[in-house]
């Protein structure tokens, strides 16, 4: 038996998972209209490859990955493209995003699917296929999976963690997937293992899902793999990647490091499943399992086509009449959907219908009494009340000293705070402030560099002009002095003088140009490096920027 480790902190909210696992995965009916956002993952925005009027087949590429850290998007069924336009996104900001609107033709006709033997392919090619199949982290983070499938150069990959933790209350989409499609998960994990050359594969599942543990164990045995399926103690956020890595391996991945640097990588079970479908069946990611639960008559997990409008989806669960809102994600880290007009996307793991009794309005905020309850439960062992204090005082430098960027926004601190302080809200606010200040600074730096470059160029041009004038004057003088022989000779003499004079001049200009080019290179390097740094700091954050901007308004108004 593997020795398990503990992570500090954590809370034990009522799981409320049972209602939605009473029925097997249902296949959601084809909606009358699909709205497929092109930007469904962390990273670049895929370019639209279709236009209004085009006919598309199921699985056809409609958004191509625009850079390495990006992920393709496909038509979830066959039909006609009605429009490629800005549509409301399933995002707390309620902002629109470029989407492909498809009217299904009901035939559900596939493109030609080509199953692949990935062992015969270059690993780089397999990663490309995963990117072009739209395989992203389906735990909710939607980070493109192919970009996580490379081991660090100097560190061997000790462990591949397959995350079946699913610690958020209400959520059961991974649980049910493990129960029903364990073999696909194991096969997908095998692909990841081979790409990463991982020594061991550990499947971590919270011990409140014994059926899933049993199903995964059976699948591992049947397929003759040597994965270890491990039940980990149920405690939110045990399903957080860093917490699960800690519990299974004892390794603590700090915010400043990527996990491969510590010889470990972590994927969600559903991600492994879709990777297997993509490689072995040639089926890109067109649908996902979504839990529909909460204040509904029929809680259940559904396999739903991406792009299904949420209003069509929630109708499947028959929401009760006192439903006053819908959450996407779990109650700890999810958000309230601004509108059900938005479509379901790869990040949609769970939709919870809420009612005033299910999620009572927050109690009034009191001053912090420094009770330390928040610090006791913080899985990253931060001092939330100190960060809160400084975020409130807008002393953002101090919040960074208290490691605000290590905060994973798990919400444990808010969960236990007797003063009902929305701590996470303050942290997001502080992070976004820091982030935008950094961005402004980068922009200022870039502008400064551009300014210097232009000055340099102006001066160079001025010098060149002066030299040209001087040269012309000298040539004129020479022509005047020289006895006029013939027009052609004078012309050639003039040219030779000019050429002779130009030689040192050219060398000078070349040097200056070289300097300018080096500066330009340096500037580009800075620009390309700095956003990356920021991104490393705030991976979870980046996609939330718009949302935070929106949040800031009420927060500021409060002060």
Partner 1 sequence: MNFTTPPYLTQNVSVQRVMLQVLAALLPGIAIYVWLIGPIILVQIAIATAASLLAEAFMLSLLKKPLGLFLGDGSATVTAWLIALAFPPLAPWWLIVVGALFAIVVAKHLYGGLGQNPFNPAMIAFAVCIVSFPALMSQWPALDRQAGFSEQLALVLGTAPRLDTMSGATPLDALKTALKLGEGNTTVATILADAHNFGYFAGKGWEWVAVAYLLGGLWLWQRRIITWHAPFAFLAGIVLFSGALWLWDPAQFANPVFHLFSGGSMLGAFFIVTDPVSGSTTPRGKLIFGFSAAALAYLIRVFGGYPDGVAFAVLLMNICVPLIDLYTQPPIFGMKSKP
User: Which residues participate in the annotated binding site for [4Fe-4S] cluster?
Assistant: 368, 371, 374, 378, 407, 410, 413, 417
Would you say 118 or 415 has its CB closer to ligand SF4? 415
Choose the one of partner 1, ligand SF4, none that binds residue 388, judging by a C-beta under 5 to 8 angstroms depending on kind: ligand SF4
Q: How far is the CB of 512 from ligand SF4 (least distance, A)?
A: 51
- Picking from 336, 342, 340, the residue whose alpha carbon sits closest to that of residue 355 is 336
Pick from 125, 197, 222, 257: which binds partner 1 (CB under 8 A)?
257
The partner in contact with residue 421, picked from partner 1, ligand SF4, none with C-beta cut-offs of 5 to 8 angstroms by kind, is: ligand SF4
Q: What length is written for the chain?
A: 559
Nearest to partner 1 of 137, 354 (CB atom): 354
Q: Which is nearer to partner 1, 85 or 558 (CB)?
A: 558
Residue partners of 70: CB distance under 8 A and separation at least 6: 41, 43, 44, 45, 46, 131, 144
CA angle 192, 193, 194 (to 5 degrees): 90
Query: Which of helix, strand or coil describes residue 75?
Result: coil
Q: Which tokens in the block code for residue 61?
A: 């590429």
- Are 118 and 194 in contact by the 8 Å Cβ rule? The answer is yes
Q: Tell me if 232 sits within 8 A of 207, measured CB to CB.
A: yes
Q: Which two tokens stand for residue 464?
A: 């060149």
Applying CB under 8 A, does 293 fall inside the site for partner 1?
Answer: no
Separation CA 37–CA 432 (nearest Å): 24
Nearest approach, Cβ of residue 418 and ligand SF4 (Å): 6
Residue of 8, 439, 468, 471 interacting with partner 1 (CB under 8 A): 8
Plot region of 310 (φ>0 → left; ψ -120 to 50 → alpha; else → beta): alpha
Angle made by CA atoms 262, 264, 268, in degrees to the nearest 5: 145
Contact between 536 and partner 1 by CB under 8 A: the answer reads: no
The interface partner of residue 242, options being ligand SF4, partner 1, none and the CB cut-off 5 to 8 Å by kind, is partner 1
DSSP per-residue codes, 411-437? -HHHHH-TT---HHHHHHHHHHHHHHH
Q: Report what 252 binds from partner 1, ligand SF4, none; CB cut-off 5-8 Å by kind.
A: partner 1
Comparing CB distances to partner 1, the nearer of 90 and 182 is 90
**What tokens appear for 207 in the block?**
């011990």
3-state DSSP call for residue 29? coil
In the bound state with partner 1, the residue whose beta carbon lies nearer, of 115 and 418, is 418
534 vs 427: CA distance, rounded Å: 16
Based on DSSP, count helices (H) and strands (E) in the chain, helices before strands. 15, 17
384 interacts with, out of ligand SF4, partner 1, none, CB within 5 to 8 A per kind: ligand SF4
> Can you tell me whether residue 287 is helix, strand or coil?
strand
| Rounded (10°) CA dihedral 250, 255, 257, 263 | 20
Per CB under 8 A, does 198 bind partner 1? no
Q: Which of 37, 104, 144, 411 binds partner 1 (CB under 8 A)?
A: 411
Residue among 134 and 139 whose Cβ is closer to ligand SF4? 139
From ligand SF4, partner 1, none, interface partner of 257 (C-beta below 5 to 8 A by class):
partner 1
CB 134 within 8 A of CB 284: yes
Of 194, 336, 445, 464, the one binding partner 1 by CB under 8 A: 336
CB of 433 to partner 1, least distance (A): 16
d(C-alpha 275, C-alpha 268), whole Å: 11
Binding residues for partner 1 restricted to 93-122, rule: CB under 8 A: 94
Q: How far is CA 98 from CA 46, 48, 72, in A?
A: 10, 9, 14
Assign residue 4 a region: left if phi > 0, alpha if psi is -120 to 50, beta otherwise? beta
Position 263 contacts partner 1 (CB under 8 A): no
The size of the interface with partner 1 (CB under 8 A), counted in residues, is 67
The residues that touch ligand SF4, with contacts defined as CB under 6 A, are 368-374, 377-380, 382, 384-385, 388, 407-413, 416-419, 421, 423-424, 427
Which residues from 227-256 bind partner 1, rule CB under 8 A? 242, 246, 252-256
Min dist CB 385 to ligand SF4, Å, is 4
Q: Is 364 in the site for partner 1 (CB under 8 A)?
A: yes
Residues 365-384 that bind partner 1 (CB under 8 A): 366-373, 375-376, 379-383
Burial class (CB in 10 A: 0-12, 13-18, 19+), 200: middle
Decide if residue 81 touches partner 1 (CB under 8 A).
no
Shortest Cβ distance from residue 392 to ligand SF4 (Å)? 11
- State yes or no: residue 140 binds partner 1 (CB under 8 A): no
Residue 351 touches which member of partner 1, ligand SF4, none, C-beta under 5-8 Å by kind? none
Annotated binding site: 368, 371, 374, 378, 407, 410, 413, 417
Q: Residue 363 carries which DSSP code?
A: P
Find, among 522, 526, 532, the residue nearest to 68 by Cα: 532
CA–CA separation, 380 and 413 (whole Å): 11
Tokens 């929106």 correspond to: 550
When the beta carbons of 110 and 359 are compared against partner 1, the nearer one is 359
> Under rule CB under 8 A, which residues in 145-184 are in contact with partner 1?
169
Q: How far apart are CA 231 and CA 234, in angstroms?
A: 9
Are 282 and 116 contacting, i.e. CB atoms less than 8 angstroms apart?
Answer: yes
Query: Which of 163, 267, 255, 264 shows the shortest CA–CA distance to 209?
Result: 163
Q: Using the rule CB under 8 A, which residue among 280, 335, 460, 549 binds partner 1?
A: 335
Per CB under 8 A, does 362 bind partner 1? yes
Q: Which of 6, 107, 420, 476 binds partner 1 (CB under 8 A)?
A: 420
Binding interface with partner 1 (CB under 8 A):
7-8, 11, 13-14, 92, 94, 169, 242, 246, 252-257, 325, 327, 329, 331-336, 338, 354, 359, 362-364, 366-373, 375-376, 379-383, 385-386, 402-403, 406, 409, 411, 414-420, 422, 424-425, 428, 550-551, 554
């Amino acid at each position: 038996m593997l020795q398990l480790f503990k992570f500090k902190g954590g809370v034990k909210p009522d799981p409320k998972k049972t209602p939605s696992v009473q029925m097997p995965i249902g296949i959601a009916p084809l909606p009358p209209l699909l709205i497929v956002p092109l930007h469904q993952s962390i990273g670049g925005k895929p370019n639209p490859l279709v236009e209004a009027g085009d006919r598309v087949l199921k699985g056809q590429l409609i958004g191509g990955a625009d850079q390495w850290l990006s992920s393709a998007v496909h038509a979830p069924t066959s039909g006609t493209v009605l429009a490629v336009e800005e549509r409301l996104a399933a995002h707390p900001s309620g902002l629109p995003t470029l989407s492909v609107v498809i009217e299904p033709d009901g035939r559900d006709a596939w493109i030609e699917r080509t199953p692949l033997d990935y062992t015969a392919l270059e690993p780089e090619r397999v990663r490309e296929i995963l990117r072009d199949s739209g395989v992203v982290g389906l735990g909710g983070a939607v980070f493109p999976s192919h970009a996580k499938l490379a081991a660090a150069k100097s560190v061997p990959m000790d462990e591949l963690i397959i995350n079946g933790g699913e610690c958020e209350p209400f959520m059961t989409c991974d649980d049910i997937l493990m129960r029903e499609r364990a073999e696909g998960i194991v096969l997908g994990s095998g692909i990841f293992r081979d790409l990463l050359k991982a020594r061991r594969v550990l499947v971590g599942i919270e011990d409140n899902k014994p059926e899933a543990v049993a199903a995964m164990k059976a699948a591992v045995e049947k397929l003759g793999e040597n994965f270890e399926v491990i039940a980990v103690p149920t405690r939110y956020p045990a399903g957080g990647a860093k917490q699960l890595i800690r519990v299974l391996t004892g390794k603590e991945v700090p915010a400043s490091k990527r996990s491969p640097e510590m010889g470990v990588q972590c994927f969600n079970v559903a991600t492994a499943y879709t990777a297997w479908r993509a490689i072995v069946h040639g089926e890109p990611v067109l649908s996902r399992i979504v839990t529909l639960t909460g204040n509904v008559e029929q809680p259940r997990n559904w396999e739903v086509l991406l792009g299904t409008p949420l209003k069509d989806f929630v109708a499947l669960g028959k929401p009760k009449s006192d439903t006053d809102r819908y959450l996407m994600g779990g109650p700890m880290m999810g958000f309230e959907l601004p509108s059900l007009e938005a479509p379901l996307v790869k990040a949609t793991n769970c939709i919870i219908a809420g009612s005033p009794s299910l999620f009572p309005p927050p109690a009034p905020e009191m001053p912090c009494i420094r009770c330390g309850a928040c610090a006791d439960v913080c899985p990253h062992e931060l001092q939330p009340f100190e960060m809160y204090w400084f975020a409130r005082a807008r002393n953002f430098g101090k919040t960074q000293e208290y490691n605000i960027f290590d905060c994973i926004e798990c919400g444990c601190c808010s969960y236990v705070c007797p003063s009902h302080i929305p701590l996470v809200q303050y942290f997001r606010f502080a992070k976004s402030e820091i982030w935008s200040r950094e961005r402004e600074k980068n922009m200022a730096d870039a502008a400064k560099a551009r300014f210097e470059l232009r000055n340099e160029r102006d001066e160079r041009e001025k010098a060149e002009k002066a030299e040209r004038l001087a040269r012309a004057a000298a040539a004129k003088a020479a022509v005047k002095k020289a006895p006029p022989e013939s027009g052609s000779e004078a012309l050639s003499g003039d040219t030779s003088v000019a050429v002779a004079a130009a030689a040192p001049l050219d060398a000078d200009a070349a040097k200056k140009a070289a300097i300018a080019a080096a500066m330009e290179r340096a500037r580009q390097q800075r620009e390309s490096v700095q956003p990356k740094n920021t991104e490393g700091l705030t991976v979870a954050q980046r996609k939330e920027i718009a949302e935070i901007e929106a949040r800031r308004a009420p927060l500021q108004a409060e002060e």
